Amino acid sequence: MNRVYKTLLIPFLAVILFSQISCNNQSTETTDAETSGSDLAVSDHFDPKGKGPSKHTLAIWENWKKTLPFEDKRDFEEAQKGFIAAPDFRQIKNAEGRVIWDIGRYDFLLNEQDHQTIHPSLQRIATLNMGYGLYKVSDGIYQVRGFDLSNMTLVEGKTGWILIDVLTTKETSAAALKFANEQLGERPVRAVIYSHTHADHFGGIRGVVNEEDVIAGKVKIIAPEGFMNFAVSENVIAGNAMNRRLFYQYGVLLPVSPYGHVDQALAKNVSSGTLGLIAPTISISKPVEELVVDGLRMIFHNTPNTEAPVEMNTYIPEKKALWMAENVTATIHNIYTLRGALVRDALTWSKKISESLYMFGEEADVMFASHHWPRWGNERVQEVLRTQRDAYGHIHNTVLNLANQGVTVNEVHNVYEVPASLQKQWSARSYHGSVEHNSRAIINRYLGYWDANPLTLIPMAERESAPLFVEMMGGAGPIIEKGKELFEEGKYKHAGELLNKLVFAEPQNQEAKDLLADCYEQIGYQQESTSVRNSFLAGAYELRNGIPGGEMPKSVTPDIIRAMSTETWLDFLGVKLNSKKAEGINFKMNIITPDNNEKFLVELSNSTLSNLKGFTAKNADLTLTLNRSDLNMAMMGVKSFEDLLKEGKAKVEGNPQILAQLVGMLDEFDPRFEILPGTKKEKYQSPTADGGFDAPAFIED
Ligand SMILES: [Zn+2]
């Protein structure tokens, strides 16, 4: 029985735990081949077929350089302000000596050289995100930055530290706390605040507190209501698909290089250490709730359905310090995150920023957040709050204005424009989201994916329709010829339209795939948003070389399994069921877990596995009774069901064969399923010679 739990858990835990082997891909610093500007010299970057920027891409690059407000350098001043010290190391290792964090890979961004393979605005934020070390926010408030995707904030309480967000993994959080204590004097951790449910804000908890101290009440963990539910469940059911899409949005296997991975918008990247989770001990349930935490008055402001399903800002009146969680950072965030998730609510997001502005923002002297750097002075605080409020509000309102005039989900990204006043504000630039995918998301949230053209209601798959297009266009020869012509003219999207048909019609046509990849690459270089850049560059890589190698997840974290509800796990079993194999099979099974007083009725009928919490069937074919704490062991793969039965920890009544039958009907999800035609391989190769990758522990922002 062991297998069932392993096989059904690992694929979605892959999303939660993108834990990985070595992190030895050092920055591929190169002499940029792009300086000539006229032709597409094959560069010496990671991909042997890779090219520098075309003259068209360079023209766009020059235009951005001229028109964006580079004279406004306040972000650079703020990112530097309060700097106390940087550690003498640039790598963090785990207990086995493996490098799980290495900001040094990105040092090519510190040489003050323009990289014309990077949008100038993206290079700006990528450089700002090189901030590394301990910084003072205000009296008694400090941040460690550059140790992970997120910041760790330390607030002086009466007797010790109150930590706000604790990075992604225990290795980086422990290193951050140690470094801060060395610089500021050792203080015990009295409380931890989880601002929201994304793992870069809670995963490092075990590096800064002992669970026994939490249980004993010595350390309080404060989080918004509903935290545990959403911390685990947001990406379980579609986990394998989300995991695969991380290859694109986050470029998780793209080598770090001016031609590849340069930034993650919120910071450099995610650490690849050990992710943990300890449940909160205090839940903030009211819209606004005040607590005294280690002698310090804190006002919590719940902001559900914004950047995360549950999230909260915090105001510290005594210090006039406003913590905006991940609701206000130095980028416009994802309204739709390309890894896949429910579309977020831009209107609520905008309103919650407005609430913060009028509840706290009119008196705050400093505003700080879980990513990027603080803003000082009330005028500046209000400026950034208004800018971001209006950026989310404008895209929401204006996209719906357009939709109400007939603009569709498939057109709006070419029609919607950010107002000029916001375009000139750095904090309204879309590094994480993009204007294009966020504007489409607004329509998708309200109207869904259909553009109301009857033909697109039941579209042919591209694989089915492409051969007809190719035939009508006169075959591969003319398409390649026209594709090259369009490419030379810098019409990469036009070329892409044609070549995409050919690639879908002839998945083994490498010439077509290479030319399409060249288009992707130029489009990627032109993007301000890391999400879109990474997607195009990862796609280019796959078209040229096939789906990349690099180690996939190899471990599951006990904390995450413990935190998962039995219902979520059973829901996922239903997703794993192979409908064809289940045809004609019917059974009812009861699962009873006495220690948490839960029971479930699991029924297979009509090739559908359903589960109902709080019920049992009178005439069940099988009743399985075991404590949830023992079920955890099976879910983790530590013990098999046979072991648990032998040890007397599990009891069965009825026909135990049903369990084996169920296992036999579950699908294995391929973590490297094919997205672009002809990219699936028998054996995967690593994009770098040393084969080392830095697949992060977790990505969920
Ligand atoms: Zn985050």
Quote the ligand 1 centre to 405 CA distance (angstroms): 36
Give rounded-to-5 percent helix, strand, coil for the chain: 40, 15, 45
Encode pLDDT of 621-635 as tens digits.
999 999 999 999 888
Centre of ligand 1 to C-alpha 563, Å, is 20
Q: Where are the alpha helices (DSSP H) in 416-461?
A: 420-423, 435-447, 454-457
Would you state the pLDDT for residue 33? 36
Ligand 1 centre to CA of 75 (Å) is 19
Pick the closest to residue 347 from 400, 397, 413 (CA basis). Answer: 397
The pLDDT of residue 12: 38
The rounded distance, in Å, linking the Cα atoms of 294 and 139 is 16
| Token pair in block for residue 97 | 């000596």
Q: Minimal CA–CA distance to 651: which of 629, 635, 633, 627?
A: 627
Q: Which of 163, 125, 169 is nearest to 142 (CA)?
A: 163
Asked whether the beta carbons of 88 and 134 are under 8 A apart, the reply is no
pLDDT for the residue 698: 55
How many angstroms separate the CA atoms of 271 and 150, rounded?
10
CA end-to-end span of the chain: 35
Report how far ligand 1's centroid is from the alpha carbon of 426 (Å): 19
Give the CA-trace dihedral at 513, 514, 517, 522, to 10 degrees.
Answer: -150
Q: CA-CA distances (angstroms) from residue 409 to 405, 454, 601? A: 12, 14, 41
Q: In angstroms, what is the span from residue 214 Cα to ligand 1's centroid?
A: 24
Whether 226 and 692 have beta carbons less than 8 Å apart is answered as: no
State residue 255's pLDDT score: 86
The count of residues in the chain is 701
Ligand 1 centre and the CA of 200: distance in Å? 5
Per-residue DSSP letter, 294: T
Distance 428 CA to ligand 1 centre (A): 18
Q: Provide the 3-class DSSP secondary structure of residue 489.
A: coil
At residue 42, the pLDDT reads: 45
Could you tell me the distance, in angstroms and rounded to a whole number, from the CA of residue 196 to the centre of ligand 1? 8
User: How many Å lie between the centroid of ligand 1 and the Cα of residue 672?
Assistant: 26
| 243-261 confidence digits (pLDDT tens) | 889 889 998 878 899 999 9
Contact 20, 694 (CB under 8 A): yes
C-alpha to C-alpha distance for 398 and 407, rounded to whole angstroms = 11
Distance 169 CA to ligand 1 centre (A): 13
CA of 608 to the centre of ligand 1 (A): 36
Cα–ligand 1 centroid distance for 186 (angstroms): 27
**Which residues of the chain carry a pLDDT beneath 70?**
1-44, 234, 551-556, 685-701
Listed in sequence order, the residues at least 6 apart from 7 whose beta carbon sits closer than 8 Å to its beta carbon are: 663, 666, 668
The whole-angstrom separation of Cα 395 and Cα 347 is 9
- Cα(657) to ligand 1 centroid in Å equals 45
Count CA atoms within 13 Å of residue 226 on its CB side: 15
Q: Residue 34 has which token pair?
A: 């792009």
Closest listed residue to residue 230, CA positions, set 334, 165, 164, 307: 307
Contact 560, 232 (CB under 8 A): yes
| Full DSSP string of 522-587 | HHHHT-S-HHHHHHHHHHHHHHHH-S----------HHHHHHS-HHHHHHHHHHHB-TTTTTT--E
Alpha helices by DSSP H, 404-434: 412-415, 420-423
pLDDT at 22: 28
Dist. CA 271 → ligand 1 center (Å):
12
pLDDT of residue 691: 42
Q: Give the rounded distance of the alpha carbon of 212 from its chain centre.
A: 31
Give distance in angstroms: CA of 420 to centre of ligand 1: 28
Beta pairing class for 189-193 and 220-224? parallel
Closest CA to 142 of 92, 198, 180: 180
pLDDT at residue number 686 = 63
Between CA 285 and CA 290 the distance in angstroms is 11
Three-state DSSP class for 67?
A: helix
Residue 146 contacts residue 267 (beta carbons within 8 Å): yes
C-alpha of residue 617 to centroid of ligand 1, in Å: 43
Around ion ligand 1, which residues have CB less than 5 A away?
150, 198, 200, 326, 701
- Cα 599 from chain centroid? 34
